[in-house]
Amino acid sequence: MSDFTIAKVAVEKTVYHFDKAFDYLIPSELLASVKPGCRVVVPFGGANSKRQGMVLSLTSQESAGKLKFVSGLLDSVPLLSQEALRLVVWLKEHYFCTLYDAVKLLLPTGINFKIRTEYSLAAPMDAMDLEGFSELEKQMIRYLSHAGAGVDRDRLLKDMGLSTDSGVPEKLYKANVLLKSSGTVRQVGDAAQKMVRLTEEQEIHKLTPKQKSVYNILSDVGSASQKELCYFAGVTPVVVNALVSKGIAQYYDMEIYRNPYDHIQDCGPAENIVLSEEQQQAYTNVYRQYASGSGGVSLLYGVTGSGKTSVFTKLIDTVRADGRGVIVMVPEISLTPQTISLFHQRYGRDVAVFHSGLTLGERMDEWKRVRNGEALIAVGTRSAVFAPFENLGLIILDEEQEYTYKSESSPRYHARDVAKFRCAYHKALLMLSSATPSIESYYLAQNGRYSLNVLSTRYGNAVLPEVSVVDMNAEVESGNNTILSSVLHQALNENLENGRQSIILLNRRGYNTFVSCKACGHVITCPNCSISLTYHSANHRLMCHYCGYSMPLSKECPQCHEDKVRCTGYGTQRAEEQLRELLPDARILRLDTDSTMSRFAYEKKLRQFADGEYDIIIGTQMVAKGLDFENVTLVGVLSADQTLYSDDFRSYERAFDLLTQVVGRSGRGQFAGKAIIQTFTPENDIIKLAARQDYQEYYEGEIAIRKAMLYPPFSDICVVGFVGGTEAKVQGASKAFLNMLRALAQSDYPGQPMRVLNPSPALIGKVSNKYRYKLIIKCRNNTKFREMVSRLLIQFAGTREFSSVTVFADINPDSIL
């Protein structure tokens, strides 16, 4: 038997080119406690700085060699299961991230520890000889002397105006002038409630009447919170404290969960779901696939309003009755309120919620409720895919085509792919649901890789809306320069008179989308990004939607100094203003990221609209999908052309999806609906197909283009991005990487199919004063290809000439950089 137990640890704050599972010896006092899935503190690097890590596995060996010891244990029980630990390794292999970056995805942010380093003086300053120290070092010594206690490193450097990588504290520590101590601090603590229970002490004859009252309650119920005891016994906390001081009762903390939906009550028996014949057939098919225990993927494709939610809700009932976990994902936080409301009404407290609108503490507590088996259904956005179910039965990806399921920052994972991994592990079913499936998903369903169920008609008596396409060129020629065509203006008036509601889509936020000088033509752009500024009327400033830069609006041109700066283009703020002028009696609600910054703003505004407090919603794409209001009978699209002509092979797919989805918000109840699409290119086929809700014809045209151009699903795309402060360096780095790729592919991967396009500037060439280039590789995303890219990233990181340039790889991004 081997003598030494080794922990393989994923360590935080490493970089990709030297990241791996590092070996650490487990000291004898921790042998029984350290388990895979627990976090530990370890010494790292030449300076042995304290870092936290996650134990991925345990091994044993006969010799300790020069291995360092684990310094401490942070968790008494494992936080990650065996499935989660496998997923960590899978994420690193598929998305070129560090192991600990993958670990952080699986843990709620609030549960993370921070390694805190404090410095204090080793001796009183009066006893020190300060000769030979620099003025900066003397200032630090004086600062710590005045503080009189240990000071956190971050605060010390900030107060002294030093950079975070300053070596002054460490230099003074090595000179024995300072003492250094390290420890871990939890970012968000557990919420606890002060509870009271009886001890074994039974000397109650000396109790006052009030104390006896408390004693009797505790004898009956066993334990109660201090607040409850005081309420039911009619006493103050002083009485309870007296019982505790006499040893008859004792305090203890009981963990409670911070839940923003705490007002939700447990529901009675759920209403029976009545399905149409078409829905019932779809349900029977997906249930049969679930019950087979083989897992797999099923695509539920149904026109807008066809009742897809009813089909998967009935399946959720079945999976929940089996005691297995369910994850339901929606693409945007704006869709969560209606989804959460639906599930709370049916399942009560059995629902846990995961989205960025929750506080850190709330997110951590919802995660715990799932892990502890106190909730069987997790509802939320992309991060919900990591909900820690031990026995997962079903994952539903609603609006599966949406780009928000793909992370834009490292790790650049796609929730659909993570869901496939988890379903394969648990032999669970993954259901993809959409009225406009992604080209890739529909292709796989057509070819038998996914099962396919189709809902071709709306549920009940509802029918698809009547759609009109308005040529805005004719409107302009007739002298109409407002945002509303005469057709849409009249339809909105009729809807108001009939007491019906309307939704208006304009996928541009702000007031004006373009600001330029009429004298010299100069366009006002962001100094940090290669993008024009947008005027916002709410704060009378020009703002950059990429880096957040803003400046006051001035009519003086910074180029020619003429007072001829003018704003053009429409954003949601200006559209709202014009709507109020054109429809003075209408109650108008604007819904975009600017109007929903406060917590739970989405829920509040959508609830108000559902309750009839507003007649019209105008908003960006957040009003286009997933919303179901029975009284909405009119949808207007103000500028259908914006999404059609972007520099991306998915531009037509996005345009068709957006138009089809927003049109589908109309006429979902007992009233017939209509939709009006305003465009300057009415002859465009995508607009015509969206108006007809004809996905099949759109798909056949799009898949032919994809095949001819070798785009997904006929290939995978890997985008290698280069980011740096000097454009020449970034451009040079992209060319050097291409040369490395060419050499490595020819020498070690000659059979790997790929087509590589020459490096080029990104669509937005500069963001936040960082220049961006891209290299596009059409490839087959297999183990060999990912191995090659990983080797290239590691090799490139060792190139000193381009050390100032950051490089990353993104497999199948939703949009090309």
Q: Which residues are annotated as a binding site for Zn(2+)?
A: 517, 520, 526, 529, 544, 547, 557, 560
Task: Give the position of tokens 């001035």.
Answer: 554
- Quick check: 573 and 537 in contact, CB under 8 A? yes
3 state SS of 123: coil
Inter-CA distances, 434 with 142, 487, 647, Å: 65, 30, 25
Element (H, E) at 340: helix 336-347
Inter-helix orientation angle 209-221/237-245, to 10°:
80
Rounded to an integer, what distance in angstroms lies between the CA atom of residue 302 and that of residue 455? Answer: 4
**Kind of pairing, strands 325-329 and 296-302?**
unpaired
Inter-helix orientation angle 99-106/82-95, to 10°:
130
Rounded to an integer, what distance in angstroms lies between the CA atom of residue 76 and that of residue 95? Answer: 30
- Quick check: 382 and 329 in contact, CB under 8 A? yes
Rounded to an integer, what distance in angstroms lies between the CA atom of residue 95 and that of residue 410? Answer: 8
**Kind of pairing, strands 541-543 and 534-536?**
antiparallel
Q: What is the 3-state secondary structure (H, E, C) of 19-31?
A: CCEEEEECCHHHC
Inter-helix orientation angle 277-291/308-321, to 10°:
40
End-to-end CA distance of the chain, in Å?
A: 54
CB atoms within 10 A of CB 459: 20
Question: Which residues belong to the annotated binding site?
Answer: 517, 520, 526, 529, 544, 547, 557, 560
- Quick check: 145 and 129 in contact, CB under 8 A? no
Rounded to an integer, what distance in angstroms lies between the CA atom of residue 693 and that of residue 465? Answer: 10
Rounded to an integer, what distance in angstroms lies between the CA atom of residue 717 and that of residue 438? Answer: 16
Rounded to an integer, what distance in angstroms lies between the CA atom of residue 303 and that of residue 69? Answer: 60
Contacts of 120 (CB under 8 A, 6+ apart): 144, 147, 149, 150, 151, 178, 179, 181
Q: For 772-787, b where at least 16 C-beta lie within 10 A, e where not — what string?
A: bbbbbbbbebeeebbe
Inter-CA distances, 769 with 318, 546, 613, Å: 53, 11, 44
Please spell the DSSP secondary structure of 773-812, one letter per residue. Answer: EEEEEEE--SHHHHHHHHHHHHHHHT-GGGTT-EEEEEES
Edge-to-edge strands of the sheet including 451-455? Answer: 351-354, 377-380, 325-329, 392-398, 429-434, 296-302, 451-455
Burial class (CB in 10 A: 0-12, 13-18, 19+), 710: exposed
Rounded to an integer, what distance in angstroms lies between the CA atom of residue 711 and that of residue 510? Answer: 34
- Quick check: 435 and 664 in contact, CB under 8 A? yes
Inter-CA distances, 195 with 199, 233, 237, 283, 327, Å: 13, 15, 12, 47, 34
- Quick check: 652 and 437 in contact, CB under 8 A? no
* Residue 807 phi, psi dihedral angles, 5° rounding: -125, 140
**Kind of pairing, strands 296-302 and 39-44?**
unpaired
